[in-house]
Amino acid sequence: MADVKDLTLSYGEQILFLGAELEVERGDRIAFVGPNGAGKSTLLRLIMGIEQPDEGRAGLGEHNVIAGYFEQNQAEALDLSKTVIDTIFEVVPDWTQTQVRSLLGSFCFSNESVFKEAGKLSGGEKARLALALMLLKPCNLLVLDEPTNHLDIPAKQMLEDALIAYEGAALLVSHDRYFISRVANRIVELRDGELVLYRGDYAYYQEKKQEEAEAARAAAEAEARAAKRRAERERQRQKQAARLTTRQTPAT
């Protein structure tokens, strides 16, 4: 569905990716995790072809991949002159008004709000409408950058359920750890310029991170003990050398 091969990208002296590798298969719902500034949103833009790498490749698969991309400023792509309900009807003209209003209700548009022009919506309302619109368009790869930022709990639950039932692949960036724990079945950590894949959900990732931390702590403790033994051996060697020197020094 998408792949990253020997990807290298830097901004000035900051290296985001250095030989990064990843393959995305059908059914993968991958959440990217890492500190702010690690390059999570940049990676999605690279895969979508919006940005270009310094070296290597990041992009969609070559065969029949149709991607739906939701970025944090996705609302800017709306036709601001259309009403909320007409925006949806344009994508699903065969739906009844009841079906459309039911969908919009899931995204917190009810009663007269469905007849508001998109240009008169708040930023959060625009984001919800853009997300509902994207989920209706036919695609087999969803690329979602912070999709829950402006969603209340019912809308977030609706999105979670839709993603769990989704048969294509999904790439997710979100600060909402509960959202990730519900929908992701793979975790990719951005670490030191690499993409480290964990083949399990968020609970599996946390378990493996705990194991890694314990292994690193045990290794550090073992190294500290070894260093202490080396230091003690060196101290004993120096004492022995000092005694030999004293014995061999002639009296004056």
pLDDT tens digits for range 21-60 = 999 999 999 999 999 999 999 999 999 999 999 999 999 9
What letter does residue 37 receive in the DSSP assignment? Answer: T
Residues near 168 by beta carbon (within 8 Å), at least 6 away in sequence: 1, 26, 27, 139, 140, 141, 142
**pLDDT, greater one: 136 or 89:** 89
The predicted structure's pLDDT at residue 122: 85
Mean pLDDT for the stretch of residues 73-87: 85
- Phi first, then psi, for residue 167 (nearest 5°) are -95, -10
- Is 249 a residue whose pLDDT tops 80? no
Fold held by 2-208: Rossmann fold (3.40.50)
- Is 252 a residue whose pLDDT tops 60? no
* Angle in degrees, 0-180, between the axes of helices 153-165 and 97-106, rounded to the nearest 10: 110
- Is 166 a residue whose pLDDT tops 80? yes
- Phi first, then psi, for residue 21 (nearest 5°) are -135, 140
d(CA 222, CA 66): 51
- Is 173 a residue whose pLDDT tops 90? yes
**194: helix, strand or coil:** strand
Q: Where are the domains of the chain?
A: 2-208
Mean pLDDT for the stretch of residues 69-79: 78
Q: pTM to 2 decimals?
A: 0.82
Mean pLDDT for the stretch of residues 233-246: 84
Long-range CB contact pairs, 36-44, < 8 A, 24+: 38/190, 39/9, 39/190, 40/145, 40/173, 40/190, 41/71, 41/72, 41/145, 41/146, 41/173, 42/9, 42/16, 43/4, 43/17, 43/190, 43/195, 44/69, 44/71, 44/143, 44/145, 44/171, 44/173
Query: pLDDT grade, residue 66 (50/70/90)?
Result: very high
Q: Which two tokens stand for residue 5?
A: 């091969």
